[in-house]
Structure 1
């Protein structure tokens, strides 16, 4: 057996990794490849043996102090041969020094603990074939996100993510098929949400909101514009109001991950995070 080589992905490699993610049941977005590459063009690694792709991982750097791991997949017939560990070591090396985060599936959480990752909280994926609009006593106006200057959106996003990610955010809110909606307050946004089409239905993420009313207004606007098929929302379990909102919409738990960090966990306002952006990028 020839030793596997690990290299940075090319754009067409990321499309293959998304196919593998779909096979694992992760339901990637239709436009994820271009958006993810905007976050960090060199942050996606692929392992090859005899010229054939056998595994992948992402190690996306956001500046010098924070990174996020995802896309950790080895093709089933190549598992148990050390290829996964080689990919893992390459990804971790790329994120040093600094804090590394990930959303770990249940089966891998103990392995991540052995690598120094500590549980911060669980994320739960809620879904429904036809979600109901949540109850809103007095809904504020919801507008297109691009109706305000991008610098305003970027400053709002920065409150809910450990690092600046402007290049990614700019692509995420404007990608084909993506719907980005906003509730504005007197001086700054109250809520921002994005819906993206996926292999199956669509997902909402991020959904950041200063208050429950603004969260529900944006959520209702997004599900109203969702294409046919189920809608999913990945929310942090500590946000009890996000769980209540999902329940009001008739959504049920379908999947879970563990948000884990190696290094000092960032302090994020989880009570205002109603939907995380993605399990791959945080």
Structure 2
């Protein structure tokens, strides 16, 4: 029997649920992405009514997720099954996400576009901001090349490692970490930042100088690599120490790190530690342009990264 292919007029879009995880896994594997079930579940937890699945003939064919932080939102995980690409389904599901955000009164929508998606997003009113470069690497020799003397990971209950401190749920430093994140990203992301401190098996750190938080760093374990980030710091030395601390926890695993192209200090760390460029994204926005500080962002991360 000859296979028929849906066009955009036959597509319906519904809310994503945990029952969609097998399809989500299929899309991630097909695209060669890094997300795990935990990343999809995080997206559904952060914005339960803003994660969508497109269907053709009652079969899932595409996804997208949104995450709202007050008046700023991110669109992510725009994935279309290979067998139905080129039929306008990606455009349809992104337009659905935009309409959802417009109905909520969101003033700024942001996303990281791959080279394949950039043209579509421009047609939908998105404008370019700056590049984010993904590097891949991993420590195999066990030596720190940036010369930082940071110690090994503390066990729960051990608070200080020089000026690096592991953060757990309810830590008194969390308010300062959230303020620093807002300074760097121009976005109030408490719900997202808190999600890192809740995951005890994956470390989340802050750096402290003269009693004040000068940086923080998290990471997530993906199906291909450890994704470093988010990481922001107001003091370059804290950036080096935090990156060394995260990398030292996974000496035998590959790692990804997404660095804004104009953060020369973070790029220096990546080069010094033998990370190589994998690909580039273009950060884009629609609506009101916010003014974040990419020079403070050493490892960019959104709720979908893994």
Runs of 4+ that moved beyond 6 A: none
Task: Note if 1:183 corresponds to 2:177.
Answer: no
Mean Cα displacement is larger for which, 19-28 or 43-52?
A: 19-28
Alignment partner of 2:144 out of 133, 138, 144: 133
Q: Which has the larger radius of gyration?
A: 2
The question of 1:51 aligning with 2:58 is answered: yes
1:33 aligned residue (40, 43, 51): 40
Cα separation, 2, equivalents of 1:177 and 1:22: 24
2:35–2:304 Cα contact (<8 Å) kept: no
1:164/1:231 CA distance change after superposition, 3 Å:
same
Give the C-alpha shift of residue 161 in structure 1. Answer: 2.6
Question: Any conservation in 1 of the 2:64–2:77 contact (CA below 8 Å)?
Answer: yes
**Partner residue, 1:173:** 197
Tell me, in whole angstroms, the C-alpha distance in 2 between the residues paired with 1:78 and 1:8.
20
Q: After alignment, is 49-58 or 153-162 more displaced?
A: 153-162
- Match status 1:145 vs 2:164: no
Alignment deviations for residues 231-275 of structure 1 (CA, whole Å, 9 cap, x no partner): 111110011111111111110101211001112321111111000
**Cα distance between partner residues in 2 of 1:175 and 1:125:** 24
Residue 73 (structure 1) aligned with residue 79 (structure 2): yes
**What is aligned with 2:217?**
193
CA distance in 2, matches of 1:274, 1:76: 33
Q: Which runs of 5+ in 1 are unaligned?
A: none
Give the alignment's TM-score, normalised by structure 2.
0.84
Contact 2:72 2:109 in 1 (8 A): yes
In 2, Cα distance between equivalents of 1:127 and 1:212:
21
Count of aligned pairs: 280
**Shift in Å, 1:278:** 3.4
Q: Quick one: distance in 1 between partners of 2:93 and 2:78? A: 8
Query: Cα deviations across residues 97-151 of structure 1 (Å, max 9, x unaligned)?
Result: 4111010001221221122111110100111132753424676521102254432
Deviation, 1:93, is 0.5
Deviates more, 1:3-12 or 1:147-156: 147-156
What is the aligned counterpart of 2:100 among 68, 71, 94? 94
